């Protein structure tokens, strides 16, 4: 006779299999080996009784949640995060794990403390850019909780694996393209969020291109864009209203570039005839803009895949590569002034 699994307990399985409750627990949780004949007997009884182990209880017994956490910034705007999430989910799914996502807001939490993801509900954590402050990172590191960082390096002195993309050389190359090929001299750079590592390295590439081509750096041409189209649009609108002279915009990322192009169009400026516009990331819609956006292709999906695999390696083997830098490449389209077929 069988009963519904919801009414069957581990004691029922142990009694019918003629073993102790502890033996059934060891078999289910794989915390210690049992003989083949005992394993077969327990398996047969579980099948006969339609017994399914309670997942929460099993996780408590093994100290595993079978979940990976992803901590991202509060504002998940634009098309950037989709490919990264797809990359993470593809690897997590291959390993039979679950993915928990928290859109963390440090300001609402009053700084550190009260972390929504951690050892209580995840076996490891992928930390995006500035979604965690250094105090929380230090805290988890001291607990030896597995972490991998993406789009940032760990705080000084902490050996936490990190996955980054090449920013400086690509930014230098795309700004130099504006200077040498299209003879642009007054080039705006729209920064990302304050303290964001990608924004910092892209600005260094911008400034290096200016310096190597004999163009004096003008701080008035470095403005906030926040990697967000509405802020970028307002910034360019204000620059035009204030009479700022410029003939090109390095928008910091593609989402900001969309805002830039919209603001220029609303002001009666032609892209690229009056103002060249370039971006960074090569988001999925960038080739469908009018004109199509010249940008830097970043391996966003691969960042997600590599980060997830490194975290799983760290969780299961205690080892992961310290730092991985993925390459980027320039994609020439029409928004800079080039004519492509």
Task: Convert the pLDDT of each residue in 256-308 to its tens digit.
Answer: 999 999 999 999 999 999 999 999 999 999 999 999 999 999 999 999 999 99
Q: Which residue has the higher pLDDT, 340 or 206?
A: 206
What pLDDT digit, counting tens, does each position of 97-115 carry? 999 998 865 544 444 445 7
Q: Is the pLDDT of residue 171 over 80?
A: yes
- Per-residue pLDDT at 278: 98
Whole-number Å distance between alpha carbons of 146 and 159: 11
Per-residue pLDDT, 105: 57
Q: pTM of the entire structure?
A: 0.78
What's residue 104's pLDDT?
64
What is the structure's pLDDT at 107?
A: 44
Is 50 exceeded by the pLDDT of residue 89?
Answer: yes
Arithmetic mean of pLDDT, 82-102: 92
Looking at residue 5, what is its pLDDT? 42
Domains parsed from the chain with CATH numbers: 5-62 (1.10.260.40), 67-165+300-327 (3.40.50.2300), 168-298 (3.40.50.2300)
Confidence of residue 116 (pLDDT cuts 50, 70, 90): confident
Q: Per residue in 319-333, pLDDT tens?
A: 899 999 999 999 999
Model pLDDT, residue 84 = 93
* Mean pLDDT over each residue of the chain, to the nearest integer: 88
Portion of the chain with pLDDT greater than 90, in percent? 66
- Site of tokens 């900001």: 256
pLDDT at 160: 96
Examine the pLDDT at 37 and tell me if it is beyond 60: yes
Task: Give pLDDT tens digits for 142-165.
Answer: 888 999 999 999 999 999 999 999
pLDDT computed for residue 147 by the predictor: 96
Amino acid 286: pLDDT = 96
Q: Which has the minimum average pLDDT: 28-32, 67-71, 185-189?
A: 28-32
Section 83-101 average pLDDT? 93
Instruction: Give mean pLDDT, residues 210-228.
Output: 97
Residue in 339, 329, 3 with CA at minimum distance from that of residue 174? 329
Whether residue 54 is predicted with pLDDT greater than 70 in this model: the reply is no
Q: At what angle do helices 21-29 and 36-49 cross, to 10 degrees?
A: 90
């Amino acid at each position: 006779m069988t009963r519904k699994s919801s009414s069957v307990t581990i004691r029922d399985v142990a009694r019918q299999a003629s073993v102790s409750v502890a033996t059934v627990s060891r078999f289910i949780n794989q915390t210690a080996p049992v003989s083949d004949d005992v394993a077969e007997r327990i398996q047969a009884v579980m099948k006969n009784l339609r017994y399914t182990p309670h997942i929460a209880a099993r996780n408590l017994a093994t100290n595993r949640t079978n979940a990976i956490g992803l901590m991202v910034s509060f504002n998940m705007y634009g098309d950037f995060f989709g490919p990264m999430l797809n990359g993470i989910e593809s690897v997590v799914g291959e390993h039979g794990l679950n993915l928990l996502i928290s859109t963390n807001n440090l300001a609402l939490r009053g700084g550190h403390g009260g972390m929504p993801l951690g050892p209580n509900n995840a076996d490891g954590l992928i930390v995006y850019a500035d979604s965690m402050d250094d105090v929380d990172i230090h805290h988890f590191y001291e607990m030896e909780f597995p972490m991998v960082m993406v789009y940032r390096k760990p705080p000084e002195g902490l050996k936490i694996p990190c996955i980054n993309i090449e920013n400086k050389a690509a930014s230098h190359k795309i700004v130099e393209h504006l200077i040498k090929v299209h003879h642009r001299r007054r080039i705006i750079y729209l920064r990302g969020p304050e303290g964001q590592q990608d924004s910092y390295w892209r600005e260094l590439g911008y400034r290096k291109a200016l310096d190597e081509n004999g163009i004096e750096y003008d701080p008035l041409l470095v403005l906030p864009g926040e990697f967000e189209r509405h802020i970028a649009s307002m910034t360019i609108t204000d620059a035009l209203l204030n009479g700022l002279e410029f003939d090109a915009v390095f928008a910091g990322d593609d989402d900001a570039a969309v805002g830039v192009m919209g603001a220029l169009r609303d002001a009666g400026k032609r892209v690229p005839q009056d103002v060249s516009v370039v971006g960074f990331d090569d988001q999925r819609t960038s080739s469908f803009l009018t004109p199509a956006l010249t940008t830097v292709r970043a391996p966003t999906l691969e960042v997600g895949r590599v980060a997830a695999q490194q975290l799983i390696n760290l969780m299961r083997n205690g080892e992961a590569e310290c730092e991985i830098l993925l390459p980027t490449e320039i994609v020439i389209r029409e928004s800079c002034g080039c004519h492509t077929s």
